[in-house]
Structure 1
Amino acid sequence: MGGTMDGTKQRRRGDTRQRIQDVALELFAEQGYEKTSLREIAERLGVTKAALYYHFKTKEEILVSIFEDLTRPVEELAEWAGQQPRTLETKHEILRRYSEALRAAAPLFRFMQENQATVRELSIGDMFKSRLLGLRDILIDPEAELVDQVRSLSALFTLHAGMHVLQDVEGDPEDKHKAVLEVATDLITQAHRGARDS
């Protein structure tokens, strides 16, 4: 019986942490990271500042935890990809999974896009850059011609750009997602073929 209680308590604590992250990200997006206080986050949640403080001591702690949770799939993808053969199928799978990870973390990436100065000052900018570079190094064939290396890198950036730029374009979000992934896949396919032909 005690084990069940502990499990329930643990789950509730996890839910509270998740709620804090969601509300904080909403407020950061609405009024900017700098202008949002811990007190406002607590008020929006309907808890005391002390209750919030139990989980997070600073806004930066909240933001870093959001970043770590939402980009964990990217880190796991880089680890998985590093153990795969450098085939075209592997590269296509990397793009597909990366596309899904970006989609799941869309609110965070919108925040990062709109608050670039803040992101640069905080540790999350460097953390994200290192994760992205890990994927880049797997997708780019160092023996390939420069144009094919650029294509490989462009495939990654196509996924990022698609997430931001296509928000304002009319159309079904699912269709837009598929179109962006198709363009990224075409780029990596061209680059892979070019590397094999050289």
Structure 2
Amino acid sequence: MSTPQARRSNTRQRIQDVALKLFSEHGYEKTSLREIAEKLDVTKAALYYHFKTKEDIVISLFQDLAAPIDDLVAWAEEQPRTLETKNEVLRRYSESLRSAEPLFRFMQENQAAVRDLSIGETFKQRVLSLFALLKEPDAEMIDQVRCLTALFSMHAGMFAMQNVKGDPEEKRKAILEVATELVTAANPPSRRPARPDSAQTESP
């Protein structure tokens, strides 16, 4: 039997899903809380129990996306700065974006609203934190571009590949492979920091 907390969580998720769909279809500004409640077949009072404003709904969506990214950044900062770590950052980031396609579509189609709500700046700072983990501190400009492009290719790829026939999982893996290639090219062996266990032992 489901608990009250589980039911509340499920209702919150339903509100987020329906609101995001309406925001993407009709625009953030043109969608009202009343329309969201009607689509959900609930009263406005029931909707208010979870979210008081449309802004609260959008902020909650970004918070849900931000949590795994914050965890990823915290994890990566404790790891050796190797290409293996950077590739793992990309893999985990790809996983965190798996269910975020509707949110990125909303961001793309409602850029003015995103700026006005200040959530765009919050997300930008998290992307820059990931960028700092992927590039070397003294990276040449072309390698900085490669690392930043790797991240944006993961975002843009979710839109661009919508009109390409194929299995969604195959497309996600292809996008990740391209991002990995870019970061690998930005971290050639000659510029990678030496691993602690790579010291040469003297021959007898």
Q: TM-score, normalised by structure 1?
A: 0.91
Q: Which residue among 117, 138, 149 is the counterpart of 2:144?
A: 149
1:124 and 2:119 matched: yes
Shift of 1:90: 0.4
Instruction: Render the CA deviation track for 1:80-119: whole Å, top value 9, x for unaligned.
Output: 1111111000000011111121222111111111111111
Q: Aligned with 2:29: secondary structure?
A: coil
Query: Which position in structure 2 is the counterpart of 1:93?
Result: 88
Shift of 1:175: 2.1
Q: Aligned with 1:104: secondary structure?
A: coil
Q: Which residue among 42, 45, 49 is the counterpart of 1:47?
A: 42
Does the 8 Å CA contact 2:73/2:130 hold for their aligned counterparts?
yes
Q: Which residue among 63, 71, 76 is the counterpart of 2:66?
A: 71
Does the 8 Å CA contact 1:42/1:52 hold for their aligned counterparts?
yes
Q: Which has the higher contact order (CA 8 A, sep 6+)?
A: 2
Query: Which position in structure 1 is the counterpart of 2:182?
Result: 187
Instruction: Render the CA deviation track for 1:42-84: whole Å, top value 9, x for unaligned.
Output: 1111111111111111000011011111332112111111111
Shift of 1:197: 7.0
Instruction: Give % identity.
Output: 66
Does the 8 Å CA contact 2:82/2:192 hold for their aligned counterparts?
no
Q: 1:39 to 1:197 in 2, by over 3 A?
A: closer
Q: Aligned with 2:187: secondary structure?
A: helix
Unaligned stretches of 5+ residues in structure 2: 194-204
Letter in 1 for 2:134: L
Distance 2:99 2:192 in 1: 36
Shift of 1:195: 6.3
1:174 and 2:169 matched: yes
Distance 1:181 1:71 in 2: 19
Distance 2:170 2:98 in 1: 13
CA RMSD of aligned residues (A): 1.8
Query: Which position in structure 2 is the counterpart of 1:31?
Result: 26
Distance 1:193 1:48 in 2: 58
Provide the aligned length of Structure 1 versus Structure 2.
193
Q: 1:24 to 1:195 in 2, by over 3 A?
A: farther
Does the 8 Å CA contact 2:83/2:184 hold for their aligned counterparts?
yes
Higher helix share: 1
Unaligned stretches of 5+ residues in structure 1: none
Shift of 1:171: 2.3
Shift of 1:132: 0.7
Q: Aligned with 1:170: secondary structure?
A: coil
Structure showing greater Rg: 2
